[in-house]
Structure 1
Amino acid sequence: MNINSLVRPNIIQLKPYASARDEFKDFKKSMTFLDANENPFETGLNRYPDPQQSALKIRLSSIKDCNANQLLLGNGSDEVLDLIFRAFCEPGKDKVILLPPTYGMYEVLANLNNIETIKIPLNTDFQPNVSDILKASNSNCKILFLCSPNNPTANSFGAEVIEELLLKFKGIVVIDEAYIDFSEQESWSSRLAEFPNLIIIQTLSKAFGLAGIRLGIAIASPEIISILNRIKPPYNINQLTQQSALNKLENLEIVTNQIELIKNERIRVLSALQNIDFVRKRYSSDANFILVQVDDANKRYQQLIDKEIVVRNRTKEPGCNNCLRFTIGTSEENTKLLTVLKSLT
């Protein structure tokens, strides 16, 4: 596959902005920097951050088992997704394929970039309809978004299904793995070499507990990452974010332990929900949340709000009639949720 044939022509011809820190990279503490119009008085933050986040990418590459030139970092995954739209989709001309119910920002970003969306609903098992997707795709369908584990359904898509789409879809396939750390499935990043049209999206907001710093990750071929680097803002990841991420990544044992606690709590909550009278269906989960069908989602949502418990009402999503989404909290928070659910009439 010729990736450049999928890129917007003006992006290929674009001369990227070169920041002061891009032009000069041979840093030494003894040097006097008078190139970037910074405030010279030392605060620890008076200098611009590394625009390529080199130290953080080296650390992440060792964790993600990839090369640093296969990584692009964004101000949250939403910025990464927006860059993908802008790199590959011509406004008012190209299309993308979405598989509802799915993460709502794909459609928001498509609308923001004036890109038409083709929606192919997941089947009753919340799996992609491969034949319908391939029938709907044409030369103007540039991107297929697969959220696996999926939000809000919490399930992973079958490996055979994803592989068939990677082989047969003629555009970019984005697999959003925001919740992969809670899954028993292996990340598709291990198979990047097989699929030049694949982009993996991950984040430090979920399993790593860093939602507040907004750090999203794209993992793809060096060719695709080079294209995205052409259009990213020069200093999109601030110094505090870079340092916070590096600090967190120094102790992965804490992250691993928290993931196991969440997975154990997920089992406990799923089991306890079968004893709640108004729960109609519990969906299996590969994420840090559970989708549950109840008798009346609007009623139960408001009852929980009245008890000062905030969950997500997903009843308006395709295939999610009367469904609530429960994030797995601490043991104490989950016990509170279950106690309140049992008390509702």
Structure 2
Amino acid sequence: MFNLESIVRPNVLKMKPYSSARDEFKGEASIFLDANENNLGSLAGENYNRYPDPHQKKLKTLIAEIKDVRSEQVFLGNGSDEAIDLLLRAFCRPGKDALLCLPPTYGMYEVSANLNEVRIDTVQLTADFQIPVQEVLQTLKPETKLLFICSPNNPTGNSIRTEDIETLLNKFSGLVVIDEAYIDFADTPSWTTRLNDFPNLVILQTFSKAWGMAGLRLGMAFASAEIIALLDKIKPPYNINEATQELVLQAIDKTEVLKDMVEEIVQERELLMQALPSIQAVETVYPSDANFLLVKVTDAGAMYKFLLSKGIVVRNRSGLPGCEGCIRISVGTLEENQTLLKAMAAF
């Protein structure tokens, strides 16, 4: 049985959050002399002399509408990496608690765990990059507080079976964190549609991938209002800058453009999947629900260096468990993909 208070770090439960000047201010005013800002203005442009909304109320309201959740179920971070770090800080006692992740997967789970002195337990995905559920259940310990599942998974590209995630949500007493950075490219529905079914569910998403705003660094976490309140309690007071909030507010109105971009990327992904197997150096092209492909080649290191010599940068993932001999290729434009294919054929 899941009990939130039993897995939160005791010091986090007891602590009082930092109270910013804008947290304390209520009502309307025309003169602001409370936050030691530069009242003459900003060299960067209008309004940037003022601190941003620490709670991102307008942005959360719009995101809640497009995701069909409540605004109090939304946390915004400086990239999804901030949400990952804060989950570890909120729930894992340094030197005592653990997280479980499923390699090959996104590397920041391990980096954040090491930074926060949290033990990392691992269970490798199966040959088809799915979860060995019974092995995971046997590996979970009383001190395991977080289970990270990337779906669609990075670097393999595949979605994780729904029934396997459901089993873990029902049987694990800690938090199941589903990283959906690439969900916009998949046919499967987001787990945000199941948010109210599982009190121990946390979903991570981002504006960096399908929305094309990697340079703005805005990540999202969706969970129960109680879990989100804990993350808000320990985050830096002004973690999302004013420029990011303004630009994302403008971009959210362009959902039709988003749909067109995703369709084009998926179409190019399918064309790459069809073309790559005909190249002599390519051994396997793995199925993908993301905006990249994992490709096994005859010599990943040599292929990586060869493409680099042609001005093409891919990712050598052959050092990851289960990805031996593999490179990861992001889906580019039609012209970029054609240039890539010609270069690989010449290897």
Give the TM-score of the pair, scaled to structure 1: 0.98
In 2, Cα distance between equivalents of 1:25 and 1:246:
23
In 2, Cα distance between equivalents of 1:64 and 1:25:
29
Query: Is 1:248 aligned to 2:251, yes or no?
Result: yes
In 2, Cα distance between equivalents of 1:275 and 1:243:
46
Alignment match, 1:287? 290
Q: How does 1:1-345 map onto structure 2 within 5 Å?
A: 1-26=2-27, 28=28, 31-43=30-42, 44=46, 45-344=48-347
In 2, Cα distance between equivalents of 1:4 and 1:202:
25
- What is the aligned length? 342
The secondary structure found in structure 1 opposite 2:104 is: coil
Unpaired runs of 5+ in structure 1?
none
In structure 2, what residue type is equivalent to 1:23?
E
Runs of 4+ in 1 over 2 A off after TM superposition: none
In 2, Cα distance between equivalents of 1:218 and 1:327:
24
In 2, Cα distance between equivalents of 1:268 and 1:138:
44
In 2, Cα distance between equivalents of 1:194 and 1:5:
20
CA-to-partner distance for each residue in 1:281-332, whole Å, 9 max, x for gaps? 1100000000000011001111100111000000000000100000001111
The secondary structure found in structure 1 opposite 2:77 is: strand
In 2, Cα distance between equivalents of 1:331 and 1:278:
21
Following superposition, the deviation at residue 25 of structure 1 comes to: 4.0
Root-mean-square deviation over aligned CA pairs? 0.8
In 1, Cα distance between equivalents of 2:281 and 2:346:
11
In structure 2, what residue type is equivalent to 1:131?
Q
Following superposition, the deviation at residue 31 of structure 1 comes to: 2.0
CA-to-partner distance for each residue in 1:52-91, whole Å, 9 max, x for gaps? 0011101111111101100110011111110000000000
Following superposition, the deviation at residue 129 of structure 1 comes to: 1.0
In 1, Cα distance between equivalents of 2:342 and 2:188:
32
CA-to-partner distance for each residue in 1:124-145, whole Å, 9 max, x for gaps? 1100111111101121000000
The secondary structure found in structure 2 opposite 1:144 is: strand
In 1, Cα distance between equivalents of 2:40 and 2:193:
45
In structure 2, what residue type is equivalent to 1:53?
Q
CA-to-partner distance for each residue in 1:120-173, whole Å, 9 max, x for gaps? 000111001111111011210000000000000000000001110111111110
Following superposition, the deviation at residue 114 of structure 1 comes to: 0.1
The secondary structure found in structure 1 opposite 2:307 is: helix
In 2, Cα distance between equivalents of 1:76 and 1:22:
23
In 1, Cα distance between equivalents of 2:173 and 2:283:
40
CA-to-partner distance for each residue in 1:1-44, whole Å, 9 max, x for gaps? 22111100000000000001111143x3x521111111111332
The secondary structure found in structure 2 opposite 1:274 is: helix
In structure 1, what residue type is equivalent to 2:41?
E
In 1, Cα distance between equivalents of 2:161 and 2:87:
24
In 1, Cα distance between equivalents of 2:336 and 2:278:
18
Give the TM-score of the pair, scaled to structure 2: 0.97
CA-to-partner distance for each residue in 1:209-251, whole Å, 9 max, x for gaps? 0000000100000010011111000000000010111111111
In structure 1, what residue type is equivalent to 2:97?
D
Mean alpha-carbon deviation: is it higher for 39-48 or for 165-174? 39-48
